[in-house]
Each structure stands twice: as C-alpha cells, then as structure tokens.
Structure 1
Amino acid sequence: MKKIYKSVIFIALSLILSSCEDVIDVDVNTAEPRLVIEASLDWEKGTTGSEQTIKLSMSSPYFSTDTDTSVTGALVTVTNMNSGSVYSFTDENNGSYSIDNFEPIIGNTYQLSVAYNGETYEATETLMEVSSINQINQSIEDGFDDELPEVNIYFDDPAEEENFYLVSFYEIGDMFPFFADVSDEFVNGNEVYYFFEKEEDEDSNMTPFEAGDTVEVKLYGISEQYYRFIRLLIEQYYNSGNPFASNAALIKGNCINLTNPDNYAYGYFRVTEVDIATYTFE
C-alpha cells in the first residue's frame, strides 16, 4: 500500500509541475519607435573643446532583444547663432556623429539640426560657464551616516546672477554615476558645498566608500531650461520603486520635430562647460 500511495503522490506532483510549464502569451502595449538624440557638447576646462560626439539611435520596446538601434545616414549640424559658424558632424556609421573643429564660446547660443528619414529636428541651447572646483576632500561627519565616509566638493557661485549646476560622482568601477542638480537660489554669491555618500545596497551592488576608492567628480554649468529637465529626470529615476512617489510621466527634451511635431524625439541637446576632478579615499 505504501508503494501505491507514493506512486499516486508522484503522479499528482508530476501533473502539477508540468502544468506550470504552460506558456501564457500576454499582449504588452508598445509605442512606435522614436529618434533618440544624445547631444551633450561638454567643454572640459583646460581643453579646446574641439572634439565632440553626438549619438543617434531609435527607441525600442522594453522587452526587445534587438540591441542594435543605432541610426546612420542622418545629417547633423550645429550652428553658432551669434557668429553664424556651422559645424557639420561626420557620420561614423555606428550611430555616432563626430567633429574635431568645434569652437565653444561662453554665452553664445547654439542650434542643433538633425535631418533624418525625411524629417528635421532642431534644438537650441546657450553655452553656460562653470566655476572651477576649489577643493575636494573626504569626511565622515557631514553625511547622513556619521560612520560612513563621503566625498565633498567646494566651488564659488558668481554673485548677482542665477546659476544652475549638474554634479556627477562616479566611483571608478561602478556601472553608473550618481547625479545631482543644484541651483544657487539660497547660496548666491557664496562658496557652494556638496557631498556624496554611498550606503550599502545589495540590489544595486553598492557599497560604502573605503580606502583606495577613486571618485571622479564633474561639475557642469547648465541653463535653467536644462536644469528643469534634468531635475525631473533625476527625481523620477531615484524615486523609482518608492510606493509614495508620484507616478512617472513622460519628460520631453528640447528637440523639436519641425516636419512632424507629433513625432517628437527623445533626449536633449545641451552645451556646457565642465570642470573635472578626482579624489582617492585614504
């Protein structure tokens, strides 16, 4: 009887487990592919800023396995609206469009033009200046956890004018940097202090800073228009998974389709000056 009983249980379990292998097709809503424009013309202090790259690709469904979404065959130019100079970017046939004679001029306005698939996209931005990083160091008493080390940066904010900044902290070896948006609303004309502290996070493989870790810090001077865009983007990104956060919404960049406004592009065209510093924890 025991053998018969065990055989019955085995057959029942086999039926249950085999039923779990049924494939269920679920229809998932997908949007039409859109052009994605990654156009960040960043002039690093101490360089000519002549070498610049713009990347074009097509958006794809979340579950798509097609990894090659690069766009080739587009005509990409940037025009200095103050001087009239036109910079034509070379198609590298891999989604990248490059140039080696770009001339960045603080305060000048630049217009991006992308002609692709019979449609023309345009965006306009002004090249913003940024202060140099005065100092970069480490501490443990200024962060959220007084037992974890943080990296600190200090820079001067120009007086009597509105200024906006983007700061990125990237530990060498990490997959992505940490971004922060900063305005001088309450610190106008003073030395600005900002810190970054890493906590233990198994989901993202994040660990606190320790001796020997090297961090690259980038300080960008950005326009108010880009500040408002990146602020929303950062807020949505870092609040993902938070049950009390507001629902994510589509954030449009500044790239407008002149031919067919409804077929807008993703991405943003920015022109910035950036100061870069590195620090190794002791």
Structure 2
Amino acid sequence: MPILILAVSCTDVVSVDVPEGPIRLTIEASLDWEKGTSGNVQTVLLSNSTAFFDNENPAPVTGAVVQVINNDSGAVFNFADQNNGSYSTNSFVPVLGNSYTLNVTYQGERYTGTETLNPVSDITDIFQSLEDGEDDEALEINVSFQDPVDEENYYFLRFQSRNDQLPELFDIKDEFIDGNLATFYWEKTGDDDTDEFIPGETVDVKLLGVSEDYYYYLQLLIEQYESAGDPFSATPVPLVGNCINLDNPENVPYGYFRVTQMVQDSYTFE
C-alpha cells in the first residue's frame, strides 16, 4: 500500500519593536563664502530629527533665535526666521582666519558651535580623460588645484552630475600633496545605480577649504554614505558635530556648523 507523507512548514511572523531615540534638533549651518562675492547672504537650516525607518522628511523648526558672532571683531549677525525651517541674513561679513560662533536658542535650550573661516585654493583646471579610472573606456572628470606650500590644509571636494540625484564627495588632507599641483578624478562605473558619463553631461564642482575637525566629521559621513545598503558594513551611528547643548548636555544636536571659503565651476563632457 503506498504511503503518503505530507510535510507542512509553518512560518511565524515575528514582530520586533525597534527602539527609537529621542527627537533631536538638527543644525545645518554651512556658511560658504564663494570667492569673488561678498558672502553677505547666508542661511541656517533647522529641523527636528525623525525615526530611522520613518520615510517622512525632517520637520522644519520655527520660532528659534539664531545668531552668528565674529569672535575677533565682536560683530553680531542675526538670522531672521523665514517660518519654514530656514533662518537667513544678508549682512554676514566673512573674514579669512577669523573665528565664528553660532548660537541657537530653541525651546528654552541654548546650542552653540565655533569654527574658523579657512581659505581655499583656486581650481586651476577641469578636464576629462579616460586613463585614470578602473575602466579605460569610461569617461572621468578631473579637477586640479595648487596646494600652498608648508601649510596644513583640508579640503572638501563635491561633484554633482546634473543627471544624478546624489553627489560624489571627497575629503582631502594635504599630507601627501603639500605645495604641489593636485589632481583628483571621479569616474562613474555604472555599477552603483548611476550610468557612466556621456558626452553632453554636465557636472558641477565645488572645492571648499575646511577645518581639521570638519575634515574628520566628513570622513565619517562619507564612510556611512558610501556603505549604505552594504550588509557587511558597520552599523551606522548618529554623527555628532561641533555643536553642543549648553543647558542639557545629553540632548546633543545633530549636524554641523561650518564656515568656509569656496570656489565652484562646472564642466560639460565633449
């Protein structure tokens, strides 16, 4: 007599409660002064953080008091609330080498951070090539600048293709390029959800002179940004910037206060 054996497999759905951290103030204060401009118009963005698995955009913060002080001259720059999470001024005065302090008062707590305005080298050349990247048939963009001799400099190089949503970021320390003409390239390989560069594609380039502290903050930011989605990468952790909470030290804000000099240009592939 034939014997019928029936195997049944059951799958239990396990619901896991993921702990959520407290909502924190996020400070996006990038006072970037483009060479050749007055640099008077600047904006600080404030928002509240959201849960890691929340698809909603961060909630804009209104009703805060925002000001920046030049610690060398004593000049005070007040940033007006635009009622959409942005706070702006048209009277900021950037001075190379001067120290600036950001003060934010929100819901009875005071946040502060300090940075120094660092100079940046000019971009001497932007060109395309084929020979530097992984694929000798793929176009790449090259950016050159002259690093000052016998100075410790840190740079933030940002590429943004107008065909892509996300930028490519580089943190640069002049340890091995001191006093030399330095060239950095970016090649899109086509294996990271972006297509290779094509003739007619335009890339916007920004080069900023940054502080040592921001350089190391940027390193961690880029590492987490580039390893997103990698199952073998380290678990991402909240990045702590240079702003502190004077009234409640445990309620540390996210984000960073930076003051930089910047040069920018664009290149269209032929």
Q: TM-score, normalised by structure 2?
A: 0.92
Q: Which runs of 5+ in 2 are unaligned?
A: 1-8
Report the equivalent of 1:4.
Answer: none
- Indicate which of 40, 60, 63 corresponds to 2:30: 40
Report the equivalent of 1:249.
Answer: 237
- Using the alignment, how far apart are the partners of 1:93 and 1:241 within structure 2? 35
When the two structures are aligned, how many residues end up with a matched partner? 262
| Residues 37-186 of structure 1: pairs in structure 2 closer than 5 A | 37-64=27-54, 66-67=56-57, 69-186=59-176
The answer to whether the 8 A contact 2:163-2:201 is kept is no
CA deviation profile, 1:58-101 (whole Å, cap 9, x unmatched): 00113335546000000000000000000000000000000001
Report the equivalent of 1:195.
Answer: 185
Residue 245 of structure 1 and its aligned partner are, at CA, apart by 3.4
The answer to whether the 8 A contact 2:155-2:207 is kept is yes
Residue 194 of structure 1 and its aligned partner are, at CA, apart by 0.3
CA deviation profile, 1:146-205 (whole Å, cap 9, x unmatched): 11010001100001110000000001132111100011001100011100000113xx53
Residue 235 of structure 1 and its aligned partner are, at CA, apart by 1.3
Report the equivalent of 1:217.
Answer: 205
RMSD of aligned residue pairs (Cα, Å)? 1.8
Report the equivalent of 1:229.
Answer: 217
Q: In structure 1, the residue corresponding to 2:213 is in which secondary structure?
A: helix
Mark the CA change 1:122 to 1:240 in structure 2 (over 3 Å): closer, same or farther.
same
Q: Which stretch of structure 1 is more off in the superposition, 63-72 or 105-114?
A: 63-72
Residue 240 of structure 1 and its aligned partner are, at CA, apart by 2.7
Residue 29 of structure 1 and its aligned partner are, at CA, apart by 1.1
Bigger Rg over Cα = 1
* Amino acid aligned to 2:99: T
Report the equivalent of 1:263.
Answer: 251
Residue 246 of structure 1 and its aligned partner are, at CA, apart by 3.4
Q: In structure 1, the residue corresponding to 2:59 is in which secondary structure?
A: coil
- Using the alignment, how far apart are the partners of 1:187 and 1:267 within structure 2? 29
Residue 120 of structure 1 and its aligned partner are, at CA, apart by 0.2
Which structure's residues are more often helix, by fraction?
A: 1
Mark the CA change 1:168 to 1:66 in structure 2 (over 3 Å): closer, same or farther.
closer
Q: In structure 2, the residue corresponding to 1:185 is in which secondary structure?
A: helix
Q: In structure 1, the residue corresponding to 2:222 is in which secondary structure?
A: helix
| Residues 2-21 of structure 1: pairs in structure 2 closer than 5 A | none
Report the equivalent of 2:3.
Answer: none
- Using the alignment, how far apart are the partners of 2:166 and 2:129 within structure 1? 23
Q: In structure 1, the residue corresponding to 2:175 is in which secondary structure?
A: coil
Residue 143 of structure 1 and its aligned partner are, at CA, apart by 1.3
- Aligned-residue sequence identity (percent) comes to 50
* Amino acid aligned to 1:270: R
Q: In structure 2, the residue corresponding to 1:128 is in which secondary structure?
A: coil
- Using the alignment, how far apart are the partners of 2:221 and 2:76 within structure 1? 31
The answer to whether the 8 A contact 2:100-2:116 is kept is yes
- Using the alignment, how far apart are the partners of 1:61 and 1:186 within structure 2? 41
* Amino acid aligned to 2:147: D
Q: TM-score, normalised by structure 1?
A: 0.88
CA deviation profile, 1:89-131 (whole Å, cap 9, x unmatched): 0000000000001000110000000000000000000000001
- Using the alignment, how far apart are the partners of 1:112 and 1:200 within structure 2? 41
Report the equivalent of 2:4.
Answer: none
